[in-house]
Amino acid sequence: MLWRFLLLLVLLVPPCVQAEQQPRVIHVVVALCDNANQGIVKVPEGIGNGQDPSSNLYWGAMYGVKTFMSKQPDFRRMKTVNDFDKPVLERLVFRHVPSGTIVVADAYDGAYIRHATRDFFSFAAGRQKMMVRADGRTYAAGGAAQLVVYVGHNGLMDFSLDHVPSAVDGKKREIAVFACKSKQYFENSIRAVGAEPLVLTTHYMAPEGYVLHALVSGWAQGDAPVEIREQVARAYAKYQKCGMKGARALFAVH
């Protein structure tokens, strides 16, 4: 009779409660800024060492993903892991407090930007699914995430990938790429893996933490793509001290 009791419990759990037990997940691939190994305009040595996430422009610097996101009141940093083998040097797990959405952010050694780009497309295609544990719970990330984001230098300006993987299922994961001219270089391959571009860029830009924060906040609360783009543009205009007209033109939605 025990099985009947357990079945009854499952049937009595409201669908909304069951959904809360499986929060949506965003996986962020961050290719660390690297003066020595990337075709970038050189930045000061302290923020351009792609093997040192602690002070890197895209991670540990003032507006880097780790520093900026960790200071936002609507996000709570749940876990930090820094005992990886290369190419990932550090992983952070955040929770968007209002919605419960989970953000997994990986800092890739800047010398492995090709590897980071391949992993990004693999996740976009639904491959390399992984389980990430934080605060006693396990979350489905990598190719199991619903939104996959790339942050960093546009490596496709420097190299071409041999191929992009085919999708493993019919799910259309949403994609954002915060890198220079990502619409031109990434969009066709994103669609080829069966994913859906959410926010891409049309020109040169600074891929820093405030645009990621704006994207994640809007997506987590269910905003429409055009409103997410507006929030991202607003954040970019604020921190880059540029006009909204130019900021809006920089970010494209599908």
Residue range 126-162, pLDDT digits in tens: 999 999 999 999 999 999 999 999 999 999 999 999 8
Residue 107 has pLDDT above 90, yes or no: yes
pLDDT of residue 239: 98
**Cα–Cα nearest to 175, from 190, 157, 156, 153:** 190
pLDDT of residue 64: 98
pTM over cut 0.75: yes
Looking at per-residue pLDDT, the higher value among 99 and 21 belongs to: 99
Residue 8 has pLDDT above 60, yes or no: no
Under 8 Å between Cβ of 28 and 104: yes
Give the pLDDT band (50/70/90) at residue 170: confident
pLDDT of residue 12: 54
Residue 43 has pLDDT above 90, yes or no: yes
Residue 38 has pLDDT above 70, yes or no: yes
pLDDT of residue 83: 77
Contacts 24+ apart (CB under 8 A), 134-138: 134/78, 134/79, 134/93, 134/102, 135/78, 135/79
Contacts 24+ apart (CB under 8 A), 165-170: 165/121, 165/122, 165/125, 165/127, 165/193, 166/125, 166/193, 166/194, 167/125, 167/126, 167/193, 167/194, 167/195, 168/125, 168/126, 168/127, 168/143, 169/126, 170/194
Q: What is the mean pLDDT of residues 80-93?
A: 90
**Cα–Cα nearest to 120, from 133, 106, 102, 131:** 106
**Cα–Cα nearest to 89, from 138, 22, 31:** 31
Residue 4 has pLDDT above 90, yes or no: no
Structure tokens of 57?
Answer: 């422009």
Strand partners, 178: 151
Q: What is the mean pLDDT of residues 173-189?
A: 98
d(CA 148, CA 3): 39
Residue 132's CB is within 10 A of a number of other CB atoms, namely 22
Mean pLDDT estimate for the chain: 92
Angle between helices 225-240 and 209-220 (to 10 degrees): 150
Residue 110 has pLDDT above 80, yes or no: yes
Express as a percent the part of the chain with pLDDT over 90: 86
Residue 90 has pLDDT above 60, yes or no: yes
pLDDT of residue 218: 98
pLDDT of residue 14: 52
Tens of pLDDT, residue by residue over 191-208, are: 999 999 999 999 999 999
d(CA 192, CA 175): 12
Residue 169 has pLDDT above 50, yes or no: yes
pLDDT of residue 177: 98
Express as a percent the part of the chain with pLDDT over 70: 91
